[in-house]
A and B are shown apart, each in its own frame.
Chain A
């Protein structure tokens, strides 16, 4: 099984609807990074969470970190076509200057 599991793997929502993507770690989290990727392109850094209970927002995207559950959630409010893409979470491990990535969640927004 993956060290970092994202769910769902694929999501189709109607424009204007809210949605949530989850990222669950099998090990202790020392930092959680969220990225967005458009097909065939590089990753765009969205936000980083480091402390349990921390919550950050960027435009209509909010991410939270639940340290006890070793989980982070990414919530999009009032989705727009521009939100479509692949969302990936990356986890930092203690003492390691590298990230382990989840397999990604493919988000499609239907008009």
Chain B
């Protein structure tokens, strides 16, 4: 079945550590997105990519990095520079807008 797979479902980060969240899609979509969701808030855009080897910063890109080496994959790295990383992270894909979402990764601090 076509869809978006995010892994892991739960992730714990130690102080000063970088962690990478995986996002893979087999929908053949050009556009992929990373959003952060905090309790009681809507989604805030971290990074998005409309084509392989190209990506743009969203509204809250500081402390995060991404790559888009393959159409199917758009991993997100939460760096040690992100001082408040505890949140629910959602990956999405679409033809031109985010229409399909993964099940999310919940990141917590150890």
Q: Which residues of A contact B (CB under 8 A)?
A: 2, 4, 6, 31, 33, 35, 40-45, 48, 88, 90, 92, 97-99, 101-104
Contact = CB atoms under 8 A, between A and B. Distances in A.
B45 A42 contact: no
A42 B103 contact: yes
- Chain B interface size, under 10 / 10 to 19 / 20 to 34 / 35 or more: 20 to 34
Nearest to A88: B42
A26 B44 CA distance: 17
Nearest to B50: A97
Contact of B104 (A31, A42, A48, A101): A42
A99 B98 contact: yes
16 contacts: A2-B42, A33-B99, A35-B101, A42-B6, A42-B101, A42-B104, A43-B90, A45-B100, A48-B99, A92-B97, A97-B96, A98-B45, A98-B98, A99-B97, A99-B98, A103-B41
Interface of B: 4, 6, 31, 33, 35, 40-45, 48, 50, 58, 88, 90, 92, 96-104, 106
A98 B44 CA distance: 11
Contacts of A42: 4, 6, 90, 101-104
Contacts of B103: 41-42
Nearest to A4: B42
B101 A98 contact: no
Contacts of A45: 99-101
A101 B42 contact: yes
Nearest to B58: A98
B91 to A, nearest CB: 8
A18 to B, nearest CB: 25
